[in-house]
């Protein structure tokens, strides 16, 4: 510690800062602590912990974060990409909701949004819950990100070469989902579990108990992912019909439990809610009567076999394994799980499955070895739908008491598990047993420490925390409430992402950063090592179609800009570069159908242009090399300026053009009588 550093400090602060700076003060780092650091700390009344937190999270300009967080955008229907540890927002990815900056849903991407239409048409928002990064051998590979929309049972595919949504799939069986996305260890399947029971295929059925029991169903869908095409292939996908137990969250087994998928459920009571005013049988109480619900254990190989066999059925074109077949052919097993469970999280090596009971202070840990031997020994009874229900005591490895309202569990590299405690507003660190016991100094299966978080934590996410080799170091608490953490922004407050330092063993966790989240309830996020993402900084070639990820043969080309008429269809071929469109004046006739091809000729990184067409609800983002095609009917005559909506250059404001829609015969020509052009000699290009 340098002398001048402490010279002007109040004695107590000097001491605390000395402590805070101690790790930095050793070795060559000493010279970097400026004399004014202590004065700043004193003036801002920072504690030693504050100073240490600042040093751990501050990212100097031009330096990059070590991790990228792919976060659900909650009700925004989008995905947010955030740098960790700086917690800076890097990117918004339009997914289920149109996103104007990227032009998503404003000229391009409209067909992707349309793919997700349900029986009542398109839904233009999403309740995104669970992003899942693609995996190879149980490790994030940085290639794709999937995310579900709970509100409409949809699943989206984002390509991480350009961070754009490529596909939205509407599940043809149900109107709500929850247990997705999660991927199998090599991303063969993206799993989407349903949530609220309904007749599969979205038909009507009355909701009295007999009808509910007989016709309402849950489901889990295994969407086959084609990595080369970067698309889900519905024709190779299948679903399993499940009892109406409100399936919740799913997680794929890996290593020791590869080939299995696990999911919890939380209303195996089959409550049907209040039917009459005055009735007290709310779902709230009806769904929390029983002591246990059902952990779902699914054997993927046997499911594939049943899906390909004669007893599979088709519902709205989707291959479905009937419940009786799943129960009879070893596809599906149940295990009791205590007290309104939430989450089923698989340890890095796949040996254990951790389930939290929302109304139980424990987490329950199941052993895959014991599950396998119990299945082999047929140690089961049958549930009311005939599904084998495994003997609880035969498959449980441990129950660990953590605190109130345990929800989700993640893992680190030190043999610890971390569970969010919603009611306690805390993160619990606890020690794993089995092969993890030698990694930490504590007794296996014990609570090691807790850190309070602000407030009402839902999910949590560790660095690479649900891969086969988590990194440790960072954990983020995704908190639902933030009441006293930020200035009041009206009655709707931001949510709070809190970064927690989990680098050291023992009861040492510390909150080191609060990030206000003003975009809806984000639920879950996954944190990947940033250098695994190999994104393009410009599209590989000029004329690139991001939808096909190849050069578009129909793209506008330099030197071939033109306007081509074919009956009443007009094709416009426009190239875009700093700082003009070519052509700039486009004349069509009222009633024409316009197909407009635009290609950015830029090769410079970050030289993005926009294309905003007045009055037409159109805006494009044309990134370097990108080709886009928009279509519309020119139904109303008029003069429509179009302009570059991205401040691209000194003469950005001059980057404009005009679309002239000439009135058809019989319609009024101009609104100003006898108007004369100022310069009648000037021709269009
Ligand atoms: S789950 S309510 Cu991710 Cu805790 Cu959705
Ligand atoms: Cu191009 Cu502004």
Q: Which pLDDT score, from 0 to 100, does residue 520 have? A: 85
Contacts of 347 (CB under 8 A, 6+ apart): 353, 354, 411, 417, 432, 436
Q: Which pLDDT score, from 0 to 100, does residue 155 have? A: 98
pLDDT band with cut points at 50, 70 and 90 for residue 667: low
Nearest CA to 259 among 178, 330, 337, 156?
330
Token pair for 110 = 């409209």
pLDDT tens for each residue of 435-456: 999 999 999 999 999 999 999 9
Token pair for 214 = 């007989």
Residue 26 has pLDDT above 70, yes or no: no
Q: Considering the chain, what percentage of its residues have pLDDT values greater than 70?
A: 93
Average pLDDT rounded to a whole number, residues 168-189:
96
Using CA atoms in the order 37, 38, 41, 47, what is the torsion angle rounded to 10 degrees? 130
Q: Which of 21-25, 259-263, 284-288, 510-514 has the lowest mean pLDDT?
A: 21-25
**128 CA → ligand 1 middle, Å:** 10
**75 CA → ligand 1 middle, Å:** 13
pLDDT band with cut points at 50, 70 and 90 for residue 30: low
Q: Is 75 left (phi over 0), alpha (psi -120 to 50) or beta?
A: alpha
SS (H, E, C) 390-444: ECHHHHEEEEEECCCCEEEEEECCCCEEEEEECCCCEEEEEECCHHHHHHCCCCC
Average pLDDT rounded to a whole number, residues 15-34:
54
Alpha-carbon distance of 152 to 196, in angstroms, equals: 11
Q: Which of 160-164, 410-414, 663-667, 675-679 has the lowest mean pLDDT?
A: 675-679
pLDDT tens for each residue of 619-659: 999 999 999 999 999 999 999 999 999 999 999 999 999 99
Helix (H) or strand (E) holding 111: helix 110-115
| Closest ligand to Cα 646 | 2
For residue 523, the ligand 1 atom closest to its alpha carbon is: 3
More confident residue, 47 or 19: 47
Q: Identify each DSSP E strand in 49-96 by its residue range.
A: 67-72, 78-84, 88-94
Work out the burial of residue 595: count CB atoms within 10 Å of its CB; fewer than 13 is exposed, 13-18 middle, 19 or more buried.
middle
Alpha-carbon distance of 387 to 383, in angstroms, equals: 5
Mean of pLDDT over the chain: 93
Confirm or reject: Cβ of 612 under 6 Å from ligand 2: no
Confirm or reject: Cβ of 588 under 6 Å from ligand 2: no
pLDDT tens for each residue of 272-290: 999 888 888 899 999 999 9
Confirm or reject: Cβ of 129 under 6 Å from ligand 1: yes
Average pLDDT rounded to a whole number, residues 66-78:
97
Alpha-carbon distance of 350 to 54, in angstroms, equals: 36
Contacts of 668 (CB under 8 A, 6+ apart): none
Q: Which pLDDT score, from 0 to 100, does residue 15 have? A: 46
Q: Which pLDDT score, from 0 to 100, does residue 3 have? A: 35
**644 CA → ligand 2 middle, Å:** 4
Q: Which pLDDT score, from 0 to 100, does residue 279 have? A: 87
Q: Which of 2-6, 236-240, 359-363, 431-435 has the lowest mean pLDDT?
A: 2-6
Average pLDDT rounded to a whole number, residues 316-331:
98
Confirm or reject: Cβ of 602 under 6 Å from ligand 2: no
Instruction: Give the C-alpha distances (Å, rounded to integers) separating 412 from 49, 430, 497.
Output: 23, 11, 19
Residue 8 has pLDDT above 70, yes or no: no
Q: The tokens 């952990």 sit on which residue?
A: 295
Average pLDDT rounded to a whole number, residues 138-160:
98
pLDDT tens for each residue of 388-436: 999 999 999 999 999 999 999 999 999 999 999 999 999 999 999 999 9
For residue 130, the ligand 1 atom closest to its alpha carbon is: 3
Q: Which pLDDT score, from 0 to 100, does residue 306 have? A: 98
Q: Using most ligand atoms within 8 A of CB, pick from 355, 478, 524, 525 the residue to mutate for ligand 1.
A: 524
**179 CA → ligand 1 middle, Å:** 8
DSSP SS3 for 535:
coil
CA quadruple 103, 107, 108, 111: dihedral sign: positive
Confirm or reject: Cβ of 406 under 6 Å from ligand 1: no
Alpha-carbon distance of 154 to 150, in angstroms, equals: 7
Confirm or reject: Cβ of 524 under 6 Å from ligand 1: yes
Average pLDDT rounded to a whole number, residues 167-196:
96
Check if the beta carbon of residue 656 is closer than 8 Å to that of residue 649: no
In angstroms, how far is CA 567 from the centroid of its own chain? 45
Confirm or reject: Cβ of 648 under 6 Å from ligand 2: yes
DSSP SS3 for 331:
coil
Helix (H) or strand (E) holding 54: helix 48-57
Q: Which pLDDT score, from 0 to 100, does residue 683 have? A: 37
pLDDT tens for each residue of 594-612: 999 999 999 999 999 999 9
Q: Which pLDDT score, from 0 to 100, does residue 10 have? A: 41
Alpha-carbon distance of 151 to 542, in angstroms, equals: 38
Looking at the chain, the number of H-run helices and the number of E-run strands are 11, 44
Q: Using most ligand atoms within 8 A of CB, pick from 72, 147, 178 the residue to mutate for ligand 1.
A: 178
Closest Cα to atom 1, ligand 2: which residue? Answer: 609
pLDDT band with cut points at 50, 70 and 90 for residue 497: very high
């Amino acid at each position: 510690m340098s002398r001048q550093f402490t010279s002007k400090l109040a004695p107590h602060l000097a001491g605390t800062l000395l402590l805070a700076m101690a790790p930095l003060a050793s070795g060559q780092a000493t010279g970097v602590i400026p004399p004014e650091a202590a004065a700043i700390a004193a003036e801002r009344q920072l504690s030693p912990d504050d100073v240490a937190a600042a040093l751990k999270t501050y990212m100097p300009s031009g330096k990059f974060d070590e991790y990228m967080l792919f976060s659900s955008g909650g009700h925004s229907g989008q995905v947010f990409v955030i740098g960790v540890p700086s917690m800076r927002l890097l990117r918004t990815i339009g997914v289920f909701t149109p996103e104007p900056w990227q032009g998503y849903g404003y000229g391009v991407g409209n067909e992707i949004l349309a793919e997700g239409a349900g029986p009542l048409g398109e839904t233009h928002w999403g309740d995104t819950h669970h992003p899942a990064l693609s995996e190879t051998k149980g490790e994030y590979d940085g290639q794709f990100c999937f995310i579900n929309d709970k509100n409409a049972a949809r699943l989206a595919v984002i390509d991480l070469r350009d961070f754009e949504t490529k596909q939205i799939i509407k599940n043809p069986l149900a109107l709500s989902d929850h247990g997705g996305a999660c991927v199998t260890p090599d991303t063969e399947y993206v799993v989407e579990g349903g949530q609220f029971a309904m007749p599969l295929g979205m038909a009507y059925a009355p909701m009295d108990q007999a009808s509910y029991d007989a016709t309402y169903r849950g489901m889990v869908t295994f969407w086959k992912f084609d990595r080369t095409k970067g698309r889900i292939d519905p024709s190779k996908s299948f679903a399993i019909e499940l009892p109406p137990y409100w399936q919740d969250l799913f997680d794929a087994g890996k290593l020791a439990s590869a080939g299995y998928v696990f999911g919890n459920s939380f209303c195996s009571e089959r409550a049907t809610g209040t039917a009459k005013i005055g009735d007290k049988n709310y779902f709230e109480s009806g769904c929390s009567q029983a002591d246990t619900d059902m952990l779902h254990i699914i054997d993927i190989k046997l499911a594939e076999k049943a899906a390909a066999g004669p007893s599979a059925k088709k519902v709205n074109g989707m291959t479905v394994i009937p419940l009786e077949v799943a129960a009879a052919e070893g596809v599906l097993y149940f295990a009791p799980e205590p007290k309104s469970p939430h989450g089923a999280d698989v340890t890095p090596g796949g040996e254990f499955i951790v389930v939290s009971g929302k109304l139980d202070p424990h987490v329950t840990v199941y052993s895959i070895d014991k599950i396998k031997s119990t299945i082999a020994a047929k140690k089961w009874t049958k549930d009311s739908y005939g599904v084998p229900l495994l003997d609880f005591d035969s498959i449980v490895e441990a129950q660990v008491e953590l605190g109130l309202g345990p929800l989700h569990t993640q893992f680190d590299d030190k043999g610890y598990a971390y569970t969010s405690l919603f009611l306690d507003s805390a993160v619990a660190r606890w020690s794993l047993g089995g092969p993890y016991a030698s990694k930490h100094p504590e007794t296996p299966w014990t609570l090691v420490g807790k850190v309070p978080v602000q407030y009402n934590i839902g999910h949590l996410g560790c660095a690479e925390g649900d891969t086969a080799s988590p990194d440790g170091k960072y954990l983020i608490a995704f908190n639902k409430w933030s009441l006293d953490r930020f200035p009041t922004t009206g009655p709707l407050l931001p949510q709070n992402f809190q970064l927690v330092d989990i680098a050291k063993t023992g009861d040492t966790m510390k909150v080191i950063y609060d990030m206000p989240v003003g975009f809806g309830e984000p639920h879950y996020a996954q944190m990947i090592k940033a250098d695994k993402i190999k994104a393009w900084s410009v599209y590989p070639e000029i004329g690139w179609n991001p939808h096909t990820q190849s050069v578009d043969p129909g793209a506008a080309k330099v030197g071939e800009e033109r306007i081509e008429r074919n009956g009443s269809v007009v094709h416009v071929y426009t190239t875009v570069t700093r700082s003009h469109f070519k052509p700039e004046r486009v004349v069509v006739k009222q009633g024409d159908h316009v197909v407009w091809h635009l290609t950015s000729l830029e090769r410079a990184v970050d030289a993005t242009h926009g294309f905003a067409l007045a009055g037409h609800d159109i805006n494009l983002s044309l990134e370097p090399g990108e080709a886009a095609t928009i279509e519309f009917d020119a139904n109303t005559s008029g003069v429509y300026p179009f302009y570059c909506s991205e401040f691209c250059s000194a003469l950005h404001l001059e980057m404009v053009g005009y679309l002239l829609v000439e009135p058809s015969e019989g319609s009024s020509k101009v609104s100003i009588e006898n108007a004369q052009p100022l310069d009648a000699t000037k021709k269009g290009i």
